[in-house]
Structure 1
Amino acid sequence: MALFTGFLLAAALGIFHHFAILFIRLFTPHLGEQKHRGILTAFLGLLTVHTIEIIAYAAAYKVMVDAGWWGSLTGDFDGSFYDLIYFSGINFATLGYAQVSTDGAIRMVAMMQALGGFMVITWSATFIYTIWQDVMDHHWRLNPDRQQSAK
C-alpha cells in the first residue's frame, strides 16, 4: 500500500510538473533582445514550482504522520510543518541524509519522492538547457561572424 501511494504521489508530481513547465514556457519571452529574461524567467519559475512540490509532499507527510499507521519520522523532528518541509526538501533533492529519519511504511513514500524529485529536477535542468540553447542559436544567427571566430 505504501509503495503504491508513493507511486501515485510521484505520478501526480510528474503530471503537475508537466503542466507547470508548459505554463512557464508561456512566460518565457521570444528571445530577441531579452535572452537573459527568458533564462531567468525559467529559473525563477522552476524554483517556485519545486518549492510548491516540496511543500505539497510535506502536506502529504503531515497527513501520514497524523494518521499514525504509516509509521513515523524520528530523530530531530518535533512534528512541526517546518520540519516536514525540511524532510521533504532533503528527499526531493535526493540528498538522502537528514537529521530526520523514517520508520515504518512511510519509508516507501520517501523513497518514491526521492525518485520523483530526481526525475523532475533532471527534467527542469533539460528545460533550462533547451531555453539556453535557443538563446545561443538566436545569438549565432544574429552574429554569424562570432560563430566562426569561436571555432
Structure 2
Amino acid sequence: MALGYFIVALATALITIAAIVFHYEAAYRLGAVTSWSTLRPRLRILVLFFGLLLAHVLEIWLFGIGAWLLAGVGPGSGISEMQQPGLLDYVYLSAATYTTVGYGDLSPGGHLRFLFGTEALAGLMLITWSASLTFIEMQNHWRDE
C-alpha cells in the first residue's frame, strides 16, 4: 500500500513538472513568434491563442495518459463510476479536472485522487498564465491595425 502511494506521488511530480516545463517552452516560443513575426497584430494574437490552446490540450492528455497508466496502483485507483474505463475516459476526467470544471459524472478513486488534485492546481495556474500572456499581447497590439 505504501508503495502505491509512493509510485503515484512520484508520477504526479514528474507529470506536473513535465506539464509546467512544456507550457513554459510553448509560451516562450509563441511569445518569440509573436514578437518577431511579420504577421498583422491581430493575427499574431490568434496564433498565440491557438498555440496556447493546443498546449493546454496536450497537457490534459499528458495527465490523462498518466492516470490511465497509474490505474490500478493501489486499492480503488481508477474512475469511481466505471468498472473498466478506457484511455478516453481518463482524458475526459483529466479535462474536467484541469479546467476545474469539477466532477459531475465521473470522479477519481483511490490513489489517483492525489494526481487529479494536483492537476487541478496546475491546470488553474497554467490557464491563468496563458490568460495573462494573451492579455499582455492584446494590450500591446490589439489596436495596432
* TM-score bracket for this pair, using the shorter chain length: 0.7 to 0.9
How much has 1:29 moved relative to structure 2?
5.4
Unpaired runs of at least 5, structure 2: 1-5
What count of residue pairs does the alignment treat as equivalent? 138
- Aligned residue in 1 for 2:110: 104
- Aligned residue in 2 for 1:95: 101
> C-alpha separation between the residues in 1 aligned to 2:91 and 2:130?
20
Unpaired runs of at least 5, structure 1: 143-151
Q: How does 1:32-71 map to 2 (within 5 A)?
A: 34-65=40-71, 67-69=72-74, 71=77
> C-alpha separation between the residues in 2 aligned to 1:21 and 1:4?
26
Q: AA paired with 1:27?
A: V
> Based on CA coordinates, which of the two structures has the bigger radius of gyration?
1
Please tell me whether the aligned partners of residues 80 and 108 of structure 2 are also in contact (alpha carbons under 8 angstroms): yes
> C-alpha separation between the residues in 2 aligned to 1:24 and 1:135?
15
Aligned match of 1:27 in 13, 22, 33?
33
How much has 1:76 moved relative to structure 2?
5.0
> C-alpha separation between the residues in 1 aligned to 2:39 and 2:31?
17
Report the TM-score when normalising by structure 1.
Answer: 0.80
Cα deviation 1:44-101 (Å, max 9, x = unaligned): 0011111111111111011101x44271212157412221111000000012223111
Moved more, 11-20 or 76-85: 76-85
Q: AA paired with 1:8?
A: L
